[in-house]
Chains A and B, each alone.
Chain A
Amino acid sequence: MKRGRTGLKSQCQIFPSLGEWAKRPKWMTPAQDWGNLPHHVVLQIFQHLSLVDRARASSVCRCWNDVFHTPDLWRRFEFELNQPATSYLRSTHPDLIQQIIKKHAQHLQYVSFKVDSCTESAEAACDILSQLVNCTIKTLGLISTARPSFMDVSQAHFVSALTVVFVNSKSLSSIRIDDTPVDDPSLKVLVANNSDTLKLLKMSSCPHVSPAGILCVADQCHGLRELALNYHLLSDELLLALSSEKHVHLEHLRIDVVSENPGQTHFHTIKRSSWEALIRHSPKVNIVMYFFLYEEEFEPFFCEETPVTHLYFGRAVSKMMLGRIGLNCPRLVELVVCANGIEPLDEELIRIAERCKSLTAIGLGECEVTCSGFVEFVKMCGGRLTQLSIMEEVLIPDSSYNMEQIHSEVSKHLGRMWFPDMMPTW
């Protein structure tokens, strides 16, 4: 442990209590020092180490081992569950997992599970969940890092594991269960036990939940501030429930709109009055919509004024639709278009610049905009555009500007250096 000594002076500046300890009497020999460090000193040091290093340090002596198991170091934990056949990343060591369940289940407050594509990993996560009985978990995240392997676990197994946490925690405030087989009954259990504390619920792509299930959550959990779900769960009743007097201001609503096959899903419309009620109740709410649809499926959207703030189009979106957005989305803050086509979008962009006065971020890929049109757009938006991410191929040089000139012209209007996103060509 000699290397510790050389950095001692600088360490003292970061760890004041270490400074105190540094003034110890000279007769304390190096071998005795380290084992006798005060607990709080070791704790401070441990907080700066990675888990692996901490675990290693804990095998040095009993004192350090005790500190390793201090409840404070176990408030936050991320379980990584990977199989070598499906992932390049390592897993949390099974022994460590056992230790946590045995000694620290009751200390855990902020827990997440990261699993790879293998069903085994998701099942292991469920097994751990089922054992977290004496816990006071506040934050729970179930995250699949590749394919959604939680969907491959038997629904019964998943639901029973999840409800263990729902029932025992009683103070859950933030839950992320996207891409899982959670269902209406488990949401009822969640609500029955945590309605006072729930603030955040992310459950995009949970196919077993129905609009009634999520409505139950909105009705009972009046502290809910952030919600993420799929469009088929969105209803007028839900928006009204989120706008009821008892409900706090909603901060963030994320909606995923995903198609199954061309023309196979018909999307219902939300009444304008429901949107208006939501905005009246929560004027600052961010409404984020992610679209993964075929072009012909957009018909039901943006026919009337829609208070969306962040729009992402993961596939091609038509010129007409972009025109509608310019007309009907006055609160728009961010717009991302993955692909449009080969007709220039000048008119649509200019209308968006005119009507969407809060627009600060725009991203365009695989579209076409003439350079003059683009400069016009930037001029109209001016410095409020903090994020302007345009693929180089999008801009079509014309008689007024070529590619060199556009970069300086746009930079001028933005008030900072700007250039388009480039892709390697070789």
Chain B
Amino acid sequence: MALNSIHWFRKGLRLHDNPALREAVQGAATVRCVYFLDPWFAGSSNVGVNRWRFLLQCLEDLDASLRKLNSRLFVIRGQPANVFPRLFKEWKISRLTFEYDSEPFGKERDAAIKKLAMEAGVEVIVKISHTLYDLDKIIELNGGQPPLTYKRFQTLISRLDPPEMPVEMLTDTLMGRCVTPVSEDHGDKYGVPSLEELGFDTEGLPSAVWPGGETEALTRIERHLERKAWVANFERPRMNANSLLASPTGLSPYLRFGCLSCRLFYFKLTDLYRKVKKNSSPPLSLYGQLLWREFFYTAATNNPRFDKMEGNPICVRIPWDKNPEALAKWAEAKTGFPWIDAIMTQLRQEGWIHHLARHAVACFLTRGDLWISWEEGMKVFEELLLDADWSVNAGSWMWLSCSSFFQQFFHCYCPVGFGRRTDPNGDFIRRYLPVLRGFPAKFIYDPWNAPESVQAAAKCIIGVHYPKPMVHHAEASRLNIERMKQIYQQLSRYRGLGVFFSSKQEVLCDGITCSSLMSVTCSSSVQFYLYNSPLKLLYIQRFGDSGEEKPQSGKRVREGRLSERAVGLVEEDKGPRHEHNQRWCLSRV
């Protein structure tokens, strides 16, 4: 009985390091690689032209690479759940392979498809290759909860075995006897559509700054590593004006679509480091870009409401303002702050902005100035940003708006000062906001302060040719820091005078980690706040700061006012004043 297989591309749009694809080919008589184009791209229909173009270029590239192996890509219109049963029958399929998708929506979809496949007698093989590690193992190691601080995540990672090596690229040899039956009218039935066919008007569309595809990705990674080796410095590069511009060695969109394997990147970085630094052990910070991505995937995988504030156990409920006009001004680069507007213009035109630029605009929208919900910002990024996938986008927005992950909220990026310090000459502004070209560096970040003569000379009157600033930053940030303080004070009931809230990092105890523990140390009572804790708590012990193993005291926790987030209060009636350095240990009774 001939084995006919389908490899289902979703992310992982590559032929290198694709273990699921290899399984499809292994011992099979025929293989067909399919990609479904349905309106539900990555769980939402909110997709801009740059992202579509990038995706189509990835698909074209895949098709071209498969042609070299006498195969083709099958682009199928429709939803997988509707189409697969027909394909299983028509092509007499007995094996289906795909790369594991860790996102909650993906897991649900895949479970449904697995069921369909089982009913049709189709074997399903799933392989992990979109992330460095098996995320479930990380969660298991953390007592069943995803780590909510990056440091904790790094600690867990360092205890795992290193990631699996990338597997070989699919070649003729590996294909072996496996063939792909291609019909005459393949192009019509299963060809990669063009942007026009998808309904976009491409007249006047500038060429892509970030061309999609595996080929491009592999070229870039070589360039990226060359540059690192030449600099022989693996420290984080200092931010300068040039960093803001799209780089030919930038890799994030390719990692997101899977044109570049994260494991390949990981091992190439490791090899290079060892070569340059003569065999010393690479620090975790070398893989920063990859590990952040991994961190957010891990945080999101078991949380279907990860991209929402309501009903999301790890997200603080902040009373954001609903203000569609203000949101539109931000999204359309009409805030009147050149730094913000230039960044949003670059984002819309090219599909990528530097991570510090992201911090600036995210802060401006949420806790810095406009006090608008991070969910709105996330949706705009989803539409425009090439490397924004569900987990990383939502996670980053929660982080930047101080809605989760224990971020200190005191630091607010100034929409004038931050830009000025990064690019004092203002070239970035002039490039993306040509209307402001005539302003001298002194006024280009706050043109509303320029005297009329300067504005006239620049042929740009503020309020006429370029908007006035939409908020008064000093006032807005003053208000907003108060708001954030109010919220955090309510959470931890910290009657603090300053703006810090203390958070004890996660405490490991008997395999159960309390993944969020905030302790107030101004009295002899400890109040803690558990996010997403399915365990009813339990027992708390206080250890002294001399590192002794035996607890000084212990107390069964009296569960006070319980809400969906367990809040407990432990009071030590007598005893010494609580020192800051003491460890608190929580365990199941």
Contacts and interface: CB of A to CB of B under 8 A. Distances in A.
A77 to B, nearest CB: 15
A89 interface: yes
A117 B323 contact: yes
Interface string B517-550: 0000100000000000000000000000100000
Given A88-B320, A312-B498, A314-B478, 15 more contacts: A48-B562, A50-B563, A146-B483, A258-B474, A288-B497, A314-B477, A338-B411, A338-B414, A361-B500, A363-B408, A366-B418, A404-B283, A415-B581, A422-B151, A425-B355
Interface stretch (A22-30, A98-106, A383-391): A383-391
Contacts of B498: 288, 310, 312, 333-334, 336, 361
Contact of B497 (A310, A391, A419): A310
Contacts of A262: 449
Given A145-B319, A342-B421, A425-B289, A314 B502 contact: no
A421 interface: yes
Contacts, number: 168
Contacts of A252: 497
Nearest to A316: B417
Interface string A385-399: 011010101000100
Closest 3 CB pairs of A and B: A365-B411, A145-B319, A146-B321
Interface string B320-344: 1111000000000000000000000
24 contacts: A48-B560, A89-B319, A145-B486, A148-B479, A179-B479, A204-B482, A205-B478, A254-B497, A262-B449, A309-B497, A315-B474, A333-B498, A334-B498, A361-B498, A366-B418, A391-B411, A393-B239, A397-B235, A416-B581, A422-B151, A423-B400, A425-B288, A425-B292, A426-B289
Contact of A116 (B292, B321, B449, B477): B321
B364 to A, nearest CB: 14
A109 interface: no
A426 B387 contact: yes
Given A88-B373, A338-B410, A339-B418, A426 B500 contact: no
Interface in B332-380: 355, 359, 371, 373
A387 B407 contact: no
Interface of A: 14, 48, 50, 82, 85-89, 114, 116-117, 143, 145-148, 178-179, 204-205, 252, 254, 256, 258-259, 261-262, 286, 288, 290, 292-293, 309-310, 312, 314-316, 333-334, 336, 338-339, 341-342, 361, 363, 365-366, 383, 386-387, 389, 391, 393, 397, 402-404, 415-417, 419, 421-426
B475 interface: yes
Pick the most buried of B479, B486, B562: most chain A CB atoms within 10 A of its CB: B479
Contacts of B396: 424, 426
B310 interface: yes
Contact of B293 (A361, A393, A419, A426): A426
B411 A292 contact: no
B413 interface: yes
Nearest to A179: B479
Contacts of A114: 319
Nearest to A312: B499
Contact of A290 (B296, B399, B417, B478): B478
Pick the most buried of B413, B521, B563: most chain A CB atoms within 10 A of its CB: B413
Interface residues of B, number: 68
A386 B321 CA distance: 34
Interface string B297-310: 00000000000011
Contacts of A116: 319, 321
A86 B580 contact: no
A65 to B, nearest CB: 22
Nearest to A85: B322
A288 B293 CA distance: 39
Contacts of B235: 397, 402-403
Interface in B30-68: none
B499 A336 contact: yes
Contacts of B561: 48, 50
A57 to B, nearest CB: 16
Contacts of A386: 502, 521, 580
B475 A258 contact: yes
A232 B508 CA distance: 50
Nearest to B318: A145
A156 to B, nearest CB: 24
A333 B499 CA distance: 12
Nearest to B501: A387
A378 B252 CA distance: 37
Nearest to B399: A424
A416 B412 CA distance: 27
B505 interface: yes
